[in-house]
Chains A and B, each alone.
Chain A
Amino acid sequence: MPRMTWCAAALAAGILAPLAWAAPPPPAAKRYNVMAGGYYARETQDQEWRLTLVGEIPSLPGAYVVVHDAHGRLIHAGCIPQGKHPPEKPYTVTIKPDGITGDYRIIIIGHQDDMLGLQVPFTDLPQEVYGGGSMSMGHDYTAKPYFRAPEGVTKIKLGAHQGQMQIYDADNKLIADTRKGGGREKYDNTIEFDVTPGMTYRFERQTMYFRSYTPNAFFLAFTPDRWFAPDPKLMEVKWWELVKETPPADAEK
Chain B
Amino acid sequence: MKHTQSCLGLAAGLLLAAMPAAWAAFDVRTTTVDWDQVEPKKSFTVFVEREELSALDRISRMIFAVQVGTGGGKTDGLTVHWQVTQGATLVARNTASLAKGLVDVMFNVAELKPGRYDVKAELRQGDKVMDQGATFFRVVDAKPPAQKGRVALNLPRGAPLKGGAWPVSTGVPFPKGALGSEKNVRVVKADGTPVPCQTIVRSRWGCAPETSIRWLGVDFQAEGAPAWWPERKDTRYYLEFGPAVAAPAAPVKVRVEETPDGLAVDTGALQFLVRRKGFNLLDRVKLGGRDIALSDPRAGLYLEDHEGSVYRAANDPNILLSVEERGDLRAVIRAEGWFVKDGSAGEKLNYTLPTDKLCRFITRIEACAGRPWVRVLNTWVLTFDSHTVRLRDVGWTLPIEGVTRAEFGVEGGDPLARPVGEKGIYLIQHTPDAFALEDGAGQGLAKGARSAGWALASGRHAILGVSHRETWQRFPKEFEILPDGLRLHIWPAHGRVNPEIDQYRHEQINRLWYAHQGRELNLAMPWQYFFATAQITGNPSTGIYSPGGMPIGGIHTSAMGMAVTSDVMLLFAEKGAESAARDQAAGWQVAPHALPDTAWTCASLAAGYMHPYSPDTMKAAEETIEDAVKGYWETQDACGEYGMWLYRPWHHSFLVEAGKLTLYRLYNATHHYESIMPWMLYARSGDPFYLTQGAANMRLLTDVQVQHYNDPAYPHREFWARQGRLVGSTKHTNGFCPWGGDHAVLAHLTCYGGMMLAHYLTGDLRWREVVVDEWQKTILTDRRNPEFSRADRTDALSPTGVAGNPREGARDVTNALGEVIDLYQMTYDPRVLALMAPMMDYFLNKFMRPWGMPVHNVVLFYGSEQAKKQILESVEERRRLKDKAEDPKAFWYTHAPHENFALASILNPAGNAHIDAWLAASVMQRRSWAAQIRKQVPHATAFCAVPDYILYLPRVMYAVFQAGGELSLSRLATSQPLLIGDTANAGWVRCVLRKDKPGALPLQIFGTVGVAGVKVKVFGPDNKPLVETTIPSGAHAPFAWPVPDAGVGEYVVFIRAGDNKDSMYAPISDLPEVYVTSYWSQHMECRYFTRSPGEATVRIKVQPHKGSATVMTDDQTVLASTDKGDEVSCDVGPKGVWVLLKTRYAHANPPIVLSYSPDRWFAPSEEKLRLKP
Residue B23 lies at the interface, judged by CB distance under 8 Å to chain A: no
Contact B530 A59 (CB under 8 A): no
Contact A250 B558 (CB under 8 A): no
B window 503-545: CB within 8 A of A: 514, 518, 522, 524-528, 530-531, 534-535, 538, 540, 542
Minimum CB distance partner of B539 in chain A = A240
Docked pose: A31 CA to B719 CA in angstroms: 26
Residue A252 lies at the interface, judged by CB distance under 8 Å to chain B: yes
Residue A241 lies at the interface, judged by CB distance under 8 Å to chain B: yes
Assuming the A-B contacts A59-B556, A60-B558, are A250 and B526 also in contact, with contact meaning beta carbons closer than 8 angstroms in the complex? yes
- What residues of A have a CB within 8 angstroms of the CB of B719 in the complex? 59, 111
Assuming the A-B contacts A61-B556, A250-B527, A252-B522, are A239 and B540 also in contact, with contact meaning beta carbons closer than 8 angstroms in the complex? yes
Contact B526 A253 (CB under 8 A): yes
- What residues of B have a CB within 8 angstroms of the CB of A64 in the complex? 527, 530
Least distance between B501 CB and chain A CB atoms (Å): 14
Least distance between A105 CB and chain B CB atoms (Å): 12
Contact A60 B387 (CB under 8 A): yes
Contact A243 B524 (CB under 8 A): no
Least distance between B559 CB and chain A CB atoms (Å): 11
Contact A240 B528 (CB under 8 A): no
Assuming the A-B contacts A239-B540, A252-B522, A253-B514, are A109 and B387 also in contact, with contact meaning beta carbons closer than 8 angstroms in the complex? no
Docked pose: A29 CA to B1001 CA in angstroms: 90
Contact B524 A240 (CB under 8 A): no
Docked pose: A238 CA to B525 CA in angstroms: 23
A56-92 CB contact bits vs B (8 Å, 1 = yes)? 0011110010000000000000010010000000000
Docked pose: A250 CA to B722 CA in angstroms: 24
Docked pose: A238 CA to B531 CA in angstroms: 11
Least distance between A77 CB and chain B CB atoms (Å): 8
A228-253 CB contact bits vs B (8 Å, 1 = yes)? 00000000001111011111001011
Docked pose: A230 CA to B715 CA in angstroms: 38
Contact A240 B526 (CB under 8 A): no
Docked pose: A60 CA to B557 CA in angstroms: 9
- What residues of B have a CB within 8 angstroms of the CB of A82 in the complex? 387
Minimum CB distance partner of B520 in chain A = A252
- What residues of A have a CB within 8 angstroms of the CB of B542 in the complex? 109
Contact B527 A79 (CB under 8 A): yes
Docked pose: A59 CA to B555 CA in angstroms: 10
Least distance between A252 CB and chain B CB atoms (Å): 7
Contact A61 B527 (CB under 8 A): yes
Least distance between A81 CB and chain B CB atoms (Å): 10
User: Which of B514, B530, B535 is within 8 Å of A109, CB to CB?
Assistant: B530
Least distance between B901 CB and chain A CB atoms (Å): 37
Docked pose: A243 CA to B504 CA in angstroms: 12
Least distance between B93 CB and chain A CB atoms (Å): 54
Instruction: State the majority secondary structure of interface residues on A.
Output: loop
Least distance between A62 CB and chain B CB atoms (Å): 8
Assuming the A-B contacts A111-B556, A240-B531, A253-B524, are A61 and B387 also in contact, with contact meaning beta carbons closer than 8 angstroms in the complex? yes
Contact B385 A60 (CB under 8 A): yes
Residue B466 lies at the interface, judged by CB distance under 8 Å to chain A: no
- What residues of B have a CB within 8 angstroms of the CB of A246 in the complex? 526-528
Docked pose: A11 CA to B527 CA in angstroms: 36
B752-785 CB contact bits vs A (8 Å, 1 = yes)? 0000000000000000000000000000000000
Minimum CB distance partner of B558 in chain A = A60
Size category, A interface = 20 to 34
A155-191 CB contact bits vs B (8 Å, 1 = yes)? 0000000000000000000000000000000000000
Docked pose: A203 CA to B524 CA in angstroms: 41
Instruction: State the majority secondary structure of interface residues on B.
Output: loop
Least distance between A31 CB and chain B CB atoms (Å): 24
B714-746 CB contact bits vs A (8 Å, 1 = yes)? 011101001000000000000000000000000
Docked pose: A77 CA to B376 CA in angstroms: 47
Docked pose: A110 CA to B556 CA in angstroms: 9
A115-148 CB contact bits vs B (8 Å, 1 = yes)? 0000000000000000000000000000000000
Residue B552 lies at the interface, judged by CB distance under 8 Å to chain A: yes
B320-346 CB contact bits vs A (8 Å, 1 = yes)? 000000000000000000000000000
Minimum CB distance partner of B538 in chain A = A238
Least distance between B710 CB and chain A CB atoms (Å): 15
B window 1014-1061: CB within 8 A of A: none
Least distance between A59 CB and chain B CB atoms (Å): 6
Contact A241 B535 (CB under 8 A): yes
Contact A240 B534 (CB under 8 A): yes
Contact A240 B527 (CB under 8 A): no
Least distance between A170 CB and chain B CB atoms (Å): 36
Least distance between A74 CB and chain B CB atoms (Å): 11
User: Which of A60, A110, A238, A240 is within 8 Å of B716, CB to CB?
Assistant: A60
User: Which of A61, A113, A238 is within 8 Å of B524, CB to CB?
Assistant: A61
Contact A243 B558 (CB under 8 A): no
Docked pose: A79 CA to B525 CA in angstroms: 13
Contact A61 B555 (CB under 8 A): yes
Q: Name which of A60, A64, A110, A239 has the most chain B CB atoms within 10 A of its CB.
A: A60
Least distance between A110 CB and chain B CB atoms (Å): 8
Contact B535 A240 (CB under 8 A): yes
Assuming the A-B contacts A61-B555, A111-B556, A253-B514, are A243 and B528 also in contact, with contact meaning beta carbons closer than 8 angstroms in the complex? yes
Least distance between A187 CB and chain B CB atoms (Å): 10
Minimum CB distance partner of A79 in chain B = B527
Least distance between B478 CB and chain A CB atoms (Å): 21
User: Which of A109, A238, A244, A245 is within 8 Å of B552, CB to CB?
Assistant: A109
- What residues of B have a CB within 8 angstroms of the CB of A59 in the complex? 556, 717, 719
- What residues of B have a CB within 8 angstroms of the CB of A110 in the complex? 552
Minimum CB distance partner of A82 in chain B = B387
Contact A253 B535 (CB under 8 A): no
Docked pose: A61 CA to B524 CA in angstroms: 8
- What residues of B have a CB within 8 angstroms of the CB of A245 in the complex? 528
Least distance between B461 CB and chain A CB atoms (Å): 44
Docked pose: A79 CA to B552 CA in angstroms: 13
Least distance between A133 CB and chain B CB atoms (Å): 9
- What residues of B have a CB within 8 angstroms of the CB of A250 in the complex? 526-528
Minimum CB distance partner of B306 in chain A = A252
Least distance between A240 CB and chain B CB atoms (Å): 4
- What residues of A have a CB within 8 angstroms of the CB of B528 in the complex? 243, 245-246, 250
Docked pose: A245 CA to B945 CA in angstroms: 37
Docked pose: A253 CA to B525 CA in angstroms: 8
User: Which of B388, B522, B556, B715 is within 8 Å of A253, CB to CB?
Assistant: B522
Using A238-B538, A240-B540 as known contacts, list a sample of 16 further A-B pairs with CB atoms less than 8 Å apart, ordered by residue number in A: A58-B715, A60-B388, A60-B558, A61-B387, A61-B524, A64-B527, A79-B527, A82-B387, A111-B556, A111-B719, A240-B531, A241-B535, A250-B527, A253-B514, A253-B522, A253-B525
A-B pairs with lowest CB-CB distance, top 4: A240-B534, A240-B540, A60-B387, A243-B531
Q: What would be 5 A-B contacts, judged by CB atoms less than 8 Å apart?
A: A59-B719, A60-B716, A64-B527, A240-B531, A250-B528
Binding site for A on B (CB under 8 A): 385, 387-388, 514, 518, 522, 524-528, 530-531, 534-535, 538, 540, 542, 548, 552, 555-556, 558, 715-717, 719, 722
